[in-house]
């Protein structure tokens, strides 16, 4: 039987302003976009751009988490790291795309419906994120049921790229 998913070489891309300005990480139709949050200072506080949403979830990603994938059929996730850091994994065209998100660089990662995605937190600290969910239709029964990744994640590539500040990584 022919395998639908095959291993390929690892391509490491440095984080550039193109990525942070919404350069598509994946294909044209289904892509994860990462864009910086704009802010204004009001006295001692800094106010960041609000995200339109139908509901908001606060999510804790414990240290050492290596999540399975999720696919939402009628939901767009808009993810912002509040505390800590983690690697967002997206799957497209039989390749994993690893995107680092951190509290030190306020940005929103937008995951449209139909994109398999998961979370990896290889640090020793928990990561807290806010997910500003956009509902594009009724919830699908399988939206929150994890699916086993078709290939193992390339944790060595993630660790190496993380250490060099060179994420996202495609593997």
Q: Is residue 116 part of a domain?
A: yes
Q: Is residue 21 part of a domain?
A: yes
Mean pLDDT, 10 residues at a time, the chain of 171 residues: 37 38 46 88 85 92 95 94 94 88 92 94 95 90 86 88 70 65
Q: Is residue 113 part of a domain?
A: yes
Q: What is the pTM (predicted TM-score) of this model?
A: 0.80
* Residue-range definition of the domain harbouring residue 50: 11-170
Distance CA 23, CA 31 (A): 10
- Residue 33: CB partners within 8 Å, gap ≥ 6? 22, 23, 24, 25, 109, 110
* CATH number of residue 48's parent domain: 2.60.120.10
Q: Is residue 36 part of a domain?
A: yes
Q: Is residue 2 part of a domain?
A: no
Q: Is residue 46 part of a domain?
A: yes
- Number of folded domains in the chain? 1
Q: Is residue 4 part of a domain?
A: no
Residue 169 has a pLDDT of 66
Distance CA 37, CA 48 (A): 6
Q: Is residue 90 part of a domain?
A: yes
Distance CA 170, CA 49 (A): 29
């Amino acid at each position: 039987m022919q395998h639908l998913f095959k291993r390929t070489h690892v391509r490491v891309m440095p984080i550039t302003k193109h990525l942070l300005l919404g350069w598509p990480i994946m294909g044209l139709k289904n892509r994860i976009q990462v864009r910086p949050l704009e802010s204004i200072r009001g006295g001692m506080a800094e106010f960041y751009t609000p995200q339109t949403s139908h509901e908001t979830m606060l999510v804790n990603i414990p240290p050492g988490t290596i999540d399975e994938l999720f696919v939402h059929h009628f939901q767009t996730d808009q993810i912002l790291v509040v505390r800590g850091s983690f690697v967002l994994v997206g799957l497209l065209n039989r390749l994993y795309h690893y995107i680092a998100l951190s509290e030190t660089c306020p940005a929103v990662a937008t995951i449209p419906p139909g994109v398999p995605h998961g979370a990896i937190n290889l640090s020793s600290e928990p990561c807290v994120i806010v997910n500003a969910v956009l509902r594009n239709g009724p919830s699908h029964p399988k939206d929150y049921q994890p699916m086993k990744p078709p290939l193992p994640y390339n944790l060595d590539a993630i660790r190496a790229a993380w250490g060099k500040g060179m994420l996202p990584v495609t593997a």
